[in-house]
Chains A and B, each alone.
Chain A
Amino acid sequence: MSLLQQVDRCLRAAGYRIQPNADHPSTIYFEDYSLFGFCTVYESVGSLLDGWDHNQDDFLQKNAPFLRLAARKAWNCYTVHLTEARPTDIESQALFDIEENFASTRKIARANLETEIDVQRALYPLIPVQNLLKMQSAQSNLDIAQRFHDWPSPAIKALLGNGTPEDIVELLLEAE
């Protein structure tokens, strides 16, 4: 799966509508009820550093009429610039500088994105808390019933349900 596909999937999972850019296959647009923007995947860190501001401006220009109408939402514009390429230290700093640049849009500029987790982490500013679900599933895995190996299932049901201690004793004694 390409980096762009991974971004597509991650954002869709977070509830965003995704639009491809017919003119630029390495770019997709995304929007939900609160945020919008685009994501472009670059071949290299260099092309990212060179092209991000042009792409941003192009996007803003094209959508200017709608941005003017959108009032508050227009401020929630995210431009995401990603590459799988590994950055040098200087490039890393340059990417960081892009993110610290608050002009016009909120910018996410990341490199060295190899895995789905890397993509997810890059997109954290756009997506809901992820690991909440993992904790819930950890809890649900702890099924007491499965741990009472030597208990007959009716007795377990009574224990974990509405059975009284008397019911439980009877069910344990009834079992062969």
Chain B
Amino acid sequence: MRFRTLGIAGFRGVRDPMDIVFPSGFVVLSGRNGTGKSSICDAIEFALTGSLTKYSESSETGEDVNDYLWWRGSHPAEQKYVTLELVDSAGETTIITRRPDGLTVSNGADVRALLCDRSVDAEKTLDDICRTSIIRDELITQLSVDLAEPDRFAFVRAAVGSSSFAATEGKLSGARKIVDARIKGTRLEYERARDRVKDLVTELSKAQAEATKGDDAANAEAELRVLTGNPNADMAGLLASGRKLAPEMRLRIDALDRLVPRAEKLLKQEAEAAGDVLRERQNQLLKVVEERSLSLASIRRQISEAEILLRQQQEIDLLSLSLAQLHEHGSRVGLSDGHCPLCGSAVSEADFRSHLAELESRLERTAEAARQLTRRRAEFNDSEARASAELSVAQRQADQISTTLESVNRERAALGEEAKRLGMADDVISQTSVALFRLESEASRVRLAKIEKYTAVLDASTAHSRVAELQKDLAASQQVVVATEKRVTKLETADQQIKRAADTLKRVSSEIVDDRLAAIRPLLGELYVRLRPHVDWPEISYLIRGDTRRFLSLRVGGGLNLRFMFSSGQRRAAGLAFLMAVSLSRPWCLLETLIFDDPVQHIDDFRALHLVESLSALRQVGRQIICTVEDSALAELLARRLRSSETDEGALIEMDYESGRGSFVGKVSEILPFSTPILRYA
């Protein structure tokens, strides 16, 4: 990729539109100070990056270069733009246009991608391109011999670029994620397979224990078919039938075993009832009940009569109470002037006292009658209680006998029902049936034992098959475990391979950078020799040292710092060698153009000639050179020596300046290839 044309208007020191064609070989721009040579370099940088790094600092008033990018002269510029046309080796062009209001790029091209090979270093930017492609007068020593060693190392390190294997690293990272996920998944599978094996081992162990329990399966099967009444059932059905029948049999035996003592108890009770002892006792008790009931009724009548008398007595008692109060009053007060204090009638003292005595006697009789009534009633109540108790006892005993008889009847019925439920032929409970129950229970026990035995035998027989099945399953599951384990191992190996590859990539990346840094050494040595900054120090040493903090020293004569040894012109020559070496050591850079902005200031003619020849050597390796110089003779020399050829022609452009108008192109000379050979004799 090279520069093809540059168009400037209203930018920096250029007011009117100015077009410059860059032939693919070289352009030498000459002119006095202020004729716009540097504005052309600025325009190239601005077109590419949108800024000018050489003016990175702000002024005290806060102004910066952005305030002075566009024409600030007294006569306003009609247009303001910078256009830079790039061309690739196939002739495809891209035009970058920047105006005050923004950037346009033809075909929407990605200029950074056009100039920076991201497959080599994905981080490089157009700023990096400009910093290392435009070698400016004022920065020659600043970026080379005058830089502190760590900064110099950083500058070179940044220029050569980090070896970028971004795509490869991305693939490795992606592959590692895939492998990690698969390892997790496969480990889970392995765990599950192991669990399955463990389960199968347990199951197998049980099945093997079962299998050792019995044999003679055919006989057991025939017996069980008879016992369960399943002549045609399959093995599973037969076993199910046997397993179902066994608990039923146990229940039947239990029922029969319960039935026997109940029947015996019933028969005993019935035997007792058969002697009419109970019934006679019942009749006696019923008679007693009747007598006690009659007696109780008589007592209750007497109580009723006594209660009537008692109520009457109570009424009498009320009168007696009044009389008693009168008696008490009369006794206490006595006669009042021959008159009774109670009735007011005239009465003598003797009569009065006689009346009081009679009244007292009457009161005494009434009280005695009341006491007798109360006593009688209490006696009746006692009689009633006794009669009731006796009646209750007799009644209870009678009821108990009734209950016993009823219970015996109910038990008989219940036992008959139970016998019927158990399928006993005789549902009438008798000594015979009790014997039958016992026989049936015993027979059932024998049958149950047989069912259990034959079921166990058949179970043992199926356990053999189960063992075989389980062994097969176990073998298959163990194979799964082995296969899964193998897969995990393989995945872990792949993971390690990827990890090692990533480490290797980092190492290689670092080595590549180190190699690039080392590769600059001979190139710098060559360019230093070509530029010959100092006659006494024909060699330069380029030494990188340090592990964490790295230093790049440029020394002459076995360790002398040329910064303090060389004159300014010599330092510039050495600096040019360094910057040219750096520029030629950018594997990521697709721009084949190098720009030198007035590189020969403070350099004498002899060293200027060496610079010209060095630029010619760059031309010989295919670089497009843009070089500005003040001196027209030097410009002419450059034009002659920079090797115009059939494919890469050159141009010599004289810049000029006019007050108010700014910089403009004065004269353009095409530098065509030299067509005539000089040496014609052979």
Give A contacts to B, CB under 8 Å. 14-15, 17, 19, 29-31, 33-36, 63, 66-67, 69-76, 96, 99-100, 102, 106, 121, 124-132, 134-135, 138-139, 141-142, 144, 147-148, 150-151, 159-160, 163-166, 168-169, 172-173
Flag if A132 contacts B497 (CB, 8 Å): no
A119 nearest CB across to chain B (Å): 13
With a cutoff of 8 Å between Cβ atoms, the chain A residues found around residue B511 in the complex are 142
Q: Does B530 contact A (CB under 8 A)?
A: yes
Q: How far is the CA of A141 from the CA of B508 in the complex (A)?
A: 11
With a cutoff of 8 Å between Cβ atoms, the chain A residues found around residue B671 in the complex are 72
B23 nearest CB across to chain A (Å): 15
Flag if B171 contacts A142 (CB, 8 Å): no
Given known A-B contacts A100-B606, A159-B501, A173-B491, A34 and B617 have beta carbons under 8 A apart: no
Q: How far is the CA of A144 from the CA of B165 in the complex (A)?
A: 10
Flag if B677 contacts A135 (CB, 8 Å): no
Flag if A139 contacts B515 (CB, 8 Å): yes
Q: How far is the CA of A129 from the CA of B617 in the complex (A)?
A: 5
Q: How far is the CA of A71 from the CA of B505 in the complex (A)?
A: 57
Sorted from nearest, which 10 A-B pairs have the closest CB atoms?
Answer: A165-B174, A128-B620, A135-B519, A73-B674, A131-B522, A165-B175, A172-B494, A131-B523, A125-B613, A34-B643
Flag if B643 contacts A33 (CB, 8 Å): yes
Flag if A33 contacts B175 (CB, 8 Å): no
- Of B171, B505, B677, B680, the contact of A168 (CB 8 Å cutoff): B171
Q: Does B267 contact A (CB under 8 A)?
A: no
In the complex, the chain B residue whose C-beta lies closest to that of A77 is: B678
B618 nearest CB across to chain A (Å): 6
With a cutoff of 8 Å between Cβ atoms, the chain A residues found around residue B605 in the complex are 102
With a cutoff of 8 Å between Cβ atoms, the chain A residues found around residue B515 in the complex are 138-139, 141-142
Flag if A131 contacts B525 (CB, 8 Å): yes
With a cutoff of 8 Å between Cβ atoms, the chain B residues found around residue A66 in the complex are 676, 678-680
- Compute the total of residue contacts between A and B using a CB distance below 8 Å: 164
In the complex, the chain A residue whose C-beta lies closest to that of B172 is: A159
- Of A29, A72, A148, A160, the contact of B674 (CB 8 Å cutoff): A72
Interface bits B153-190 vs A (CB < 8 Å: 1, else 0): 00000000000010010011111011100100000000
Q: Does B641 contact A (CB under 8 A)?
A: yes
Given known A-B contacts A31-B679, A66-B680, A165-B175, A132 and B516 have beta carbons under 8 A apart: no
Flag if B678 contacts A33 (CB, 8 Å): no
In the complex, the chain B residue whose C-beta lies closest to that of A36 is: B678
Given known A-B contacts A124-B529, A144-B508, A169-B175, A129 and B522 have beta carbons under 8 A apart: no
Q: Does B640 contact A (CB under 8 A)?
A: yes
Flag if A169 contacts B179 (CB, 8 Å): yes
Flag if A19 contacts B621 (CB, 8 Å): no
B663 nearest CB across to chain A (Å): 27
With a cutoff of 8 Å between Cβ atoms, the chain B residues found around residue A147 in the complex are 504, 507-508
Q: How far is the CA of A169 from the CA of B590 in the complex (A)?
A: 34
Flag if B674 contacts A135 (CB, 8 Å): no
- Of A73, A164, A173, the contact of B494 (CB 8 Å cutoff): A173
B596 nearest CB across to chain A (Å): 15
A80 nearest CB across to chain B (Å): 13
Flag if B584 contacts A150 (CB, 8 Å): no
Q: How far is the CA of A126 from the CA of B497 in the complex (A)?
A: 51
A-B contact pairs, 10 of them (CB 8 A): A33-B643, A72-B639, A124-B526, A125-B610, A125-B613, A135-B523, A138-B519, A142-B515, A168-B172, A173-B491
- Of B171, B518, B585, B678, the contact of A165 (CB 8 Å cutoff): B171
In the complex, the chain B residue whose C-beta lies closest to that of A156 is: B501
Flag if A76 contacts B673 (CB, 8 Å): no
In the complex, the chain A residue whose C-beta lies closest to that of B535 is: A96
Q: Does B343 contact A (CB under 8 A)?
A: no
- Of B493, B494, B677, the contact of A31 (CB 8 Å cutoff): B677
Known interface pairs A33-B674, A166-B175; 5 further A-B residue pairs with C-beta atoms within 8 A, sorted by A's residue number: A33-B646, A35-B641, A124-B530, A131-B525, A132-B621
Q: Is the interface of B mostly helix, strand, loop or mixed?
A: helix
With a cutoff of 8 Å between Cβ atoms, the chain A residues found around residue B673 in the complex are 33
Flag if A129 contacts B523 (CB, 8 Å): yes
Flag if A166 contacts B178 (CB, 8 Å): yes
In the complex, the chain B residue whose C-beta lies closest to that of A31 is: B679
Flag if B620 contacts A127 (CB, 8 Å): yes
Flag if B530 contacts A125 (CB, 8 Å): yes
Flag if B178 contacts A142 (CB, 8 Å): no
With a cutoff of 8 Å between Cβ atoms, the chain A residues found around residue B585 in the complex are 135
Flag if B519 contacts A163 (CB, 8 Å): no
- Of A33, A69, A132, A173, the contact of B523 (CB 8 Å cutoff): A132
- Of B165, B527, B679, B682, the contact of A36 (CB 8 Å cutoff): B679
Given known A-B contacts A19-B682, A34-B674, A163-B171, A151 and B497 have beta carbons under 8 A apart: yes
Q: How far is the CA of A163 from the CA of B172 in the complex (A)?
A: 11
Flag if A135 contacts B617 (CB, 8 Å): no
Flag if A159 contacts B679 (CB, 8 Å): no
In the complex, the chain B residue whose C-beta lies closest to that of A14 is: B620
Interface bits B647-682 vs A (CB < 8 Å: 1, else 0): 000000000000000000000000101101111111
With a cutoff of 8 Å between Cβ atoms, the chain B residues found around residue A151 in the complex are 497, 501
Q: Does B512 contact A (CB under 8 A)?
A: yes
Q: How far is the CA of A160 from the CA of B504 in the complex (A)?
A: 14
Q: How far is the CA of A29 from the CA of B498 in the complex (A)?
A: 60
With a cutoff of 8 Å between Cβ atoms, the chain B residues found around residue A127 in the complex are 617, 620
Q: How far is the CA of A79 from the CA of B145 in the complex (A)?
A: 33
Q: How far is the CA of A168 from the CA of B170 in the complex (A)?
A: 12
Q: Does B114 contact A (CB under 8 A)?
A: no
A28 nearest CB across to chain B (Å): 10
Residues of B457-516 at the interface with A, using a CB-CB cut-off of 8 Å, are: 490-491, 493-494, 497-498, 500-501, 504-505, 507-508, 511-512, 515-516
B159 nearest CB across to chain A (Å): 13
A96, A126, A144: most-surrounded residue (chain B CB, <10 A): A144
Flag if A159 contacts B584 (CB, 8 Å): no
Flag if A129 contacts B678 (CB, 8 Å): no
Flag if B678 contacts A63 (CB, 8 Å): yes
Q: Does B289 contact A (CB under 8 A)?
A: no
With a cutoff of 8 Å between Cβ atoms, the chain B residues found around residue A74 in the complex are 678
Q: How far is the CA of A166 from the CA of B213 in the complex (A)?
A: 56
B498, B646, B679: most-surrounded residue (chain A CB, <10 A): B679
Flag if B678 contacts A135 (CB, 8 Å): no
A110 nearest CB across to chain B (Å): 11
Q: How far is the CA of A70 from the CA of B515 in the complex (A)?
A: 45
Flag if B525 contacts A159 (CB, 8 Å): no
Q: How far is the CA of A35 from the CA of B501 in the complex (A)?
A: 51
Q: Does B359 contact A (CB under 8 A)?
A: no
A125 nearest CB across to chain B (Å): 4
With a cutoff of 8 Å between Cβ atoms, the chain A residues found around residue B680 in the complex are 66
Q: How far is the CA of A13 from the CA of B563 in the complex (A)?
A: 36
With a cutoff of 8 Å between Cβ atoms, the chain A residues found around residue B179 in the complex are 169
Flag if B526 contacts A131 (CB, 8 Å): yes
Q: How far is the CA of A147 from the CA of B542 in the complex (A)?
A: 29
Flag if A34 contacts B676 (CB, 8 Å): no
Flag if A139 contacts B516 (CB, 8 Å): yes
